[in-house]
Amino acid sequence: MRIGNYLYLMGSNIASSCTSYRRFAVESSMMFVNNLAFFLIWIFFFRQFGDLRGYGLTDIAGLFAMSCLSLGFFVLLADGVRNLSRYIVTGELERFLNTPCHPIPLIIFSGSRAGGLGDILFGLTAWLGFAQGSWQSIPWVLVIGLLCATIIAAAMFCLHCLSFWHRGVHHSTEQVYNSFLILSSYPTYIYSFFGKILLMTVFPAGLIATLPMAILHQHRIWAVIALPLAVLLWVRLASWLFRRGLRRYVSGNEIFA
Amino acid sequence: MLRAITTIQPMVARRLGAIERALALAPMRVLAAAFCLGWREESKQGVMIFIRCILFLAICAVWHRIWLATDLSNVALAFSVSADSLTSYLLMAQWVVFVVSHRYRDVADLIQSGRVFSLLSRPIPYWQYSLATTFGGVAWMMVMIGGTTVLGSWWLIGHLPAQPERIVWALISMPLGCMIWVMIQMMIGAAAAWLGNVTPLFWIAQKMMFVLGGLMLPLFFYPGWWQSIAWLTPFPAVLHLVGAAATGQTLLAWWQILAIQLCWLIVVFFLMVITFNRAEKRLMSA
């Protein structure tokens, strides 16, 4: 498939979630309010305690902004990933396999949620309003947000692919997804060494906020190299796992399909 | 003949009495069966519960480290606070959040899919059946997450989350908090009859509960004006009072905590019944 086709798929995916503009606007604005309410906890925390071993509201706002942006892009552009385990368990995967196109982009762009726009808008607001980010940094923030969204999409894709082997995974994917936002918005020094390793590898919540902050706030060169590498690794892993899983896929003829 | 009738009459009366009693008990049996069904359904979701327990422990561990890193010496309160007591508070409050989770989905999904109509025609009101099933699931989760709370507490702070003399009040206060939050969620689920998709409404209600109920940050750390607003809502009865009942970080006596929770339980219960009745009327007329 050509890039143009991907963009067309992406566009039509978003358009499908905009069928009712009123609902789209309500859902986006409610997600914005939802994030703001969650962020209020940190505002009141720093108002009461000043700082957290050198971490201030600015740093937490940066982490929060980046995780919101990444999750926002993921939900708006690639929410179809979150349905993959259901497709596998119910046999709906057939309809993606019986097309001339590669099934992975079709699955990824098979769903979009308006709430993602609320996340993106809140991420940008938090970046400019609380994290002392400049207007000039916005293009970089958006590019890094997209890269992190790719990591989330690939990691979630891998998780859903486990349904090829164990159907019970289908019920727990949303819990894991929710933990992404929760665990990515905390400062990394509170995690133990083992925790940090986990968050940077198997459970990449650390990659979607800490690494971008290392690039944008601390201007670390290693982080600039590490982020695209992580994207590449996760995408390759997702693609490999899907191909391995497809060999076990037999649910097309199941009675509940 | 007369003799035969006089001997049969008491027998018939006894039988009729038994049938009447059985009929009167039938709804209770149905609700008990619904409760057991909810319990069984929840107990089948092994992997999901395991992941939920891990996430519960992860969040509590993260906040324990945050409290350890926070300078609490300058906090001016009428009672003492420490990293351990704040972790105990969080464990109790998170227990409620994780037990109830996203119960609104069951009601909302039934309404959105139209499957609710098959339940509306039953002799037991739909809200009673739905509430009994949900309470069954919640009861199972209460045991599972309760075990995790005790484990997490021993791991993080080396003792139970509730002070020994407060364990009884904590164990009364916690289910009351759960019941209030379940009923609020049921109302949100029933709102699907008007709104269709109620997920955004739930997000806001949930985050409002975190902030107005004092989940991670106990309510006494918030500014006075914020606390005044919070006490006008049912959220402190769901979270703050549960944590406070267990740790003693409150100026309220146990009976005041209980009274506040019971008041909110009654208010929320009536609001839920009204919402369900209105939703039913709307669905039947649609």
A60 interface with B at CB cutoff 8 Å? no
Q: Would residue A56 count as lying in a domain?
A: yes
| CA-based torsion, B271, B272, B277, B278: positive or negative | positive
Go through chain B and tell me how many residues it has.
286
Contacts of B66 in chain A (CB under 8 A): 52, 186, 190
**What is the distance between the alpha carbons of residues A14 and A9, in angstroms, rounded to a whole number?**
9
pLDDT at residue B4, as a whole number: 64
- Name the amino acid, one letter, at B65: R
**What is the distance between the alpha carbons of residues A165 and A205, in angstroms, rounded to a whole number?**
24
For chain A, list the strands marked E by DSSP: none
| CA-based torsion, B5, B7, B13, B16: positive or negative | negative
pLDDT at residue A49, as a whole number: 87
**What is the distance between the alpha carbons of residues A224 and A233, in angstroms, rounded to a whole number?**
15
Contacts of B216 in chain A (CB under 8 A): 41
A117 interface with B at CB cutoff 8 Å? no
A85: Cβ contacts below 8 Å, ≥ 6 apart: A159, A160, A162, A163, A169, A170, A173
What digits encode the pLDDT tens for the residues B228-247?
999 999 999 999 999 988 88
pTM of the model: 0.84
DSSP state of A102: -
The continuous run of DSSP H or E covering A95 comes out as helix A94-97
Cβ contact A191–B65 (<8 Å): yes
A169 interface with B at CB cutoff 8 Å? yes
A44 interface with B at CB cutoff 8 Å? yes
Which of B52, B70, B204 minimises the CB distance to A30?
Answer: B204
pLDDT at residue B197, as a whole number: 81
The contact set of B with A (CB < 8 A) is: 45-48, 50-52, 55, 58-59, 62, 65-66, 69-72, 75, 196-197, 199-201, 203-204, 206-208, 210-211, 215-217, 221-223, 226
What digits encode the pLDDT tens for the residues A86-142?
888 888 888 888 888 888 988 998 888 888 999 999 999 999 999 988 899 999 999
Report how far apart the first and last C-alpha atoms of chain A are (Å, whole number): 29
| A1 pLDDT higher than 70 | no
What digits encode the pLDDT tens for the residues A153-177?
999 999 899 888 887 677 677 777 7
What residues make up the domain containing B48? 2-285
Q: Would residue A180 count as lying in a domain?
A: yes
Contact of B185 with B178, CB cutoff 8 Å: no
pLDDT at residue A2, as a whole number: 73
Confidence of residue A145 (pLDDT cuts 50, 70, 90): very high
Cβ contact A48–B71 (<8 Å): no
A148 interface with B at CB cutoff 8 Å? no
Cβ contact A30–B200 (<8 Å): yes
**What is the distance between the alpha carbons of residues B182 and B67, in angstroms, rounded to a whole number?**
29
B166: Cβ contacts below 8 Å, ≥ 6 apart: B245, B246, B247, B248, B254
Contacts of B58 in chain A (CB under 8 A): 179, 183
CA-CA-CA-CA dihedral for A205, A207, A213, A218, to nearest 10: 140
- Tell me how close the Cα of B100 comes to any Cα of chain A, in angstroms: 14
- Tell me how close the Cα of B67 comes to any Cα of chain A, in angstroms: 9
Q: Would residue A256 count as lying in a domain?
A: no
Which of B48, B207, B226 minimises the CB distance to A38?
Answer: B207
**What is the distance between the alpha carbons of residues B156 and B57, in angstroms, rounded to a whole number?**
9
Number of domains in chain B: 1
pLDDT at residue A257, as a whole number: 40
A19 interface with B at CB cutoff 8 Å? no
Which of B47, B69, B75 minimises the CB distance to A190?
Answer: B69
Q: Would residue A149 count as lying in a domain?
A: yes
| A256 pLDDT higher than 50 | no
A45 interface with B at CB cutoff 8 Å? yes
Q: Would residue A63 count as lying in a domain?
A: yes
**What is the distance between the alpha carbons of residues B161 and B147, in angstroms, rounded to a whole number?**
11
Per the rule left: phi > 0, alpha: psi between -120 and 50, beta: everything else, B158 is left
Contact of B159 with B153, CB cutoff 8 Å: yes
Cβ contact A183–B62 (<8 Å): yes
Distance, CA of B126 to chain centre: 19
Number of domains in chain A: 1
- Tell me how close the Cα of A136 comes to any Cα of chain B, in angstroms: 32
CB atoms within 10 A of CB A224: 13
**Which of A17, A29, A34 best probes binding to B when mutated, by most B CB atoms within 10 angstroms?**
A34
Which of B52, B62, B208 minimises the CB distance to A190?
Answer: B62
Query: Which residue bears the tokens 């995967």?
Result: A93
How many alpha carbons fall within 13 Å on the CB side of residue A28?
21
**Which of A19, A38, A79 best probes binding to B when mutated, by most B CB atoms within 10 angstroms?**
A38
Contact of B230 with B220, CB cutoff 8 Å: no
A48 interface with B at CB cutoff 8 Å? yes
pLDDT by residue for chain B (286 residues), tens only, comes to: 556 666 667 777 777 676 666 666 677 888 898 899 989 988 887 777 888 888 889 889 989 999 998 888 877 777 778 888 999 999 999 999 999 888 898 889 888 888 888 888 778 888 888 899 999 999 999 999 999 999 999 999 988 888 777 888 888 999 999 999 999 999 999 999 998 888 888 988 998 999 999 998 999 999 999 999 999 999 999 999 999 888 888 888 889 999 999 999 999 999 999 999 999 899 888 7
Contacts of A45 in chain B (CB under 8 A): 217, 221
A229 interface with B at CB cutoff 8 Å? no
Cβ contact B223–A47 (<8 Å): yes
Query: Which residue bears the tokens 């995916």?
Result: A13
Go through chain A and tell me how many residues it has.
257
Cβ contact B66–A52 (<8 Å): yes
Contacts of B70 in chain A (CB under 8 A): 49, 52
**What is the distance between the alpha carbons of residues A114 and A140, in angstroms, rounded to a whole number?**
23
Contact of A116 with A17, CB cutoff 8 Å: no
The whole-chain average pLDDT of chain A stands at 86
Cβ contact B62–A30 (<8 Å): no
**What is the distance between the alpha carbons of residues A154 and A108, in angstroms, rounded to a whole number?**
10
What residues make up the domain containing A65? 3-250
What digits encode the pLDDT tens for the residues A27-74?
889 889 989 988 999 999 998 888 887 888 998 999 999 999 999 999
Q: Would residue A255 count as lying in a domain?
A: no
Q: Would residue A62 count as lying in a domain?
A: yes
Q: Would residue A99 count as lying in a domain?
A: yes
Average pLDDT over residues A167-191: 75
pLDDT at residue B10, as a whole number: 73
CB atoms within 10 A of CB B106: 18
Backbone angles phi, psi at B192, to 5 degrees: -60, -20
Residue B167: closest CA among B240, B93, B261, B245: B245
Contact of A228 with A243, CB cutoff 8 Å: no
